[in-house]
Amino acid sequence: MKDEYGFVEWFRPGEYDRVEEVLPKLVASGAKYLRTHLSWAEYHAPGGQEWYDWLLPRLARDIELLPCVHYTPPSLSRTGRSSGAPKVLKDFADFLDMVLTRHGEHFEYVELWNEPNNLLDWDWREDPDCDLFCEMVGGAAYWVRQRGWKPVLGGPAPFDPYWLNLMGERGVLAEVVAAGIHGFPGTWDSEEGTWNGWNVHMAEMREILDRWNPACEIWITETGYSTWRRDDMEQARRFLEALDAGADRMYWYAWRDLPEHVAVQEGHWFDPRHYHLGAVEADGAPKLLARLLTAGGPAQVREVARLATPAVARQARPIAITGGAGFIGSNLAESFLSEGRDVVVIDNLSRPGVERNLHWLAQRHGPRLHAVPADLRDELAVREAVRDADAVLHMAAQTAVTTSLVSPMADFDVNARGTLNLLEGIRATGRKIPLVFASTNKVYGALADLEVGDSNDACAPLDEGTRAHGVGEGRPLDFCTPYGCSKGVADQYVLDYASSYGLPAAVLRMSCIYGPRQFGTEDQGWVAHFLIQALQRRPITVFGTGRQVRDVLDVSDAVAAYRAVLGQIDALSGRAFNLGGGTSNTVSLLQVLREIEAITGSKIDVTFEDWRQGDQPWFVADTRALEQAAGWRARIGWRDGLRGLAGWLSDGAARAPERQRVPA
């Protein structure tokens, strides 16, 4: 089969807005087909006909449609349930006849029922020999073909070759052009004892079909993988396995996760795995699979899956870097790899552009790079990833204040609970593995008590001592946003593990780091974001006056700081240090914008909006403690660093990815 694929997405009556939201994104992912249900029961419910009169032509306008026609109206059912056989079996064919007349211009194929060996879809207790099913579906398939459409036999779940052969014996296979197979390897316990792999089961199917209808195609009408354990990379790999299984078509279930409030057939929140089968999350945020498909189709998924295949470390004790495919993490990895060290990159690859960084590292260093596509929220995966580490640099995080305000639970799970998972994973080794943690200046809050005054293009503290040296580590912590809370919790846990368990650990509370391998967005990484927008002749939005001040630091200086602290971890353990450009690299947003205009030679279209929650009018890190303790200092001035980043971004290979926002 070519690299063509479809998605399964059930739309409920009245979900007009969701259809309009999902459909363009699904098409943008490269999907050629869409399988959706046409419920016989819902069609005859109030408003049902009007719903399908709108839905089917709307979907078919943008994508090739496969309606799956199932569910008996309870009033017509022998059991009074939608899973029961109709009292008059021919009623199903009559309904299909009406569907073809009214809607048939919108599709070529029509699927007859769904999972007929699943009690929730077909009550086989009332039909133990499948007599009723075969008569109903066989007659309907015959009539669909007579009318010029192509019938598809719904796939059983779990796969059952005996049932399929019975369909051949009863004449049903002779009437269909394709037979479906369902499989969710790695997700459902019910398949664990019977699933033998796509190759085995499709070979069984082919043998049966050749016996009864050699021209019949095999379609994977439903397959998927639940990311309830946050293993997005495994979902991408399972997608490729299904795509490469050799079926004539493959439909992936599903595009979007089920929202928490939606009940599945078994009952509300019956099993959490039901709620994480999508390629995007319930709020529309893309998981790895959707992002890679949209960026480059199956070829992109294959490349990232190849890069993220762990290799056996040649060195017994490699350096482990969480978030090692990210901006600072990839620069840190490069510094160790260039010295001949093995590096384990632990990264869930959730941020757009990081796969480019991973590819860059792999090209340069080959087998010394060991990519582990683990999520910090997966406790067992994290524990395994750091088991042999010589040292851990903890860079992985949810990094945006704005995202934390939209999804505070997810922010906490990644930053706070994820860090605790990592600390426990290190403790479980029984070894004193050094850890350096990337914290943030947001642990100091919005600095609301800091009085500042404005000049023409920058603000400054009225307090002379603060203006001269910056904010020191002695400032009280003040967690004023969910992001500040989650990072602050992690910050304090790292320091506590140093004192409670003797873990050699230190914290660097970072200010604004910028430089090559950064794909900044409006929400995080503002220096790179400004440059990216300017180089692509796009407008820039500034939140606040633009006079707010930061101390910016080139990533090469940040790497040097991490390495200096790690190299002296025994002496520096239990301490937190501010890391930024300091007073020598103090600059306002307006000053950065003017410098970018000088670099690009073009005027920037700037608009201003209100301050965002948690924004600091002025922050400059007092780095004297780090300089004295570790012998480190910032070496690259902000103007030189900005030009270096502009040069890297101007390279076509370094062009930043499109931004993908988490919807509010």
Residue the block writes with tokens 């390897």:
185
What is the separation of C-alpha 478 from the centre of its chain, rounded to a whole number of angstroms? 31
**Two tokens, residue 469:** 């040296």
DSSP string of 79-121, one letter each residue? SSSTTSPBSSTHHHHHHHHHHHHHHGGG-SEEEE-S-TTSTTT
CATH class for the domain made up of 397-651: alpha beta
Helix (H, G, I), strand (E, B) or coil at 400: coil
Residues catalogued as catalytic: 483
Burial (Cβ within 10 Å: 0-12, 13-18, ≥19) of residue 468: exposed
Residue spans of the chain under pLDDT 70 = 1, 310-315, 522-523, 652-664
First to last CA, the chain: 39
**Distance (Å) of CA 455 to CA 292, 546, 547, 585, 598:** 46, 11, 8, 18, 21
Helix (H) or strand (E) holding 301: helix 288-307
Nearest alpha carbon to residue 659 among 536, 486, 547, 560: 536
pLDDT for position 617: 87
Contact 84, 121 (CB under 8 A): no
Residue 316: other Cβ atoms inside 10 A: 8
pLDDT for position 311: 62
Give the separation between CA 200 and CA 466, rounded to whole angstroms. Answer: 70
Helix (H, G, I), strand (E, B) or coil at 320: strand
Burial (Cβ within 10 Å: 0-12, 13-18, ≥19) of residue 633: middle
| Torsional sign, CA 270, 271, 276, 278 | negative
Give the separation between CA 49 and CA 241, rounded to whole angstroms. Answer: 38
Domain residue spans of the chain: 6-295, 397-651
All residues at 6 or more sequence positions from 15 whose CB lies less than 8 Å from its CB, including other chains: none
Give the separation between CA 158 and CA 137, rounded to whole angstroms. Answer: 19
- Answer whether CATH 3.40.50.620 is correct for domain 6-295: no
Give the separation between CA 116 and CA 133, rounded to whole angstroms. Answer: 8
Strand partners, 205: none
pLDDT for position 419: 98
Cis peptide before 576 (omega within 30 of 0): no
**pTM for the structure as a whole:** 0.88
Nearest alpha carbon to residue 318 among 380, 364, 379, 365: 365
Contacts 24+ apart (CB under 8 A), 464-471: 468/583, 469/583, 469/622, 469/624, 470/551, 470/578, 470/580, 470/582, 470/583, 470/620, 470/621, 470/622, 470/623, 471/441, 471/444, 471/447, 471/578, 471/619, 471/620, 471/621, 471/622
Residues 578-605: tens digit of each pLDDT: 999 999 999 999 999 999 999 999 999 9
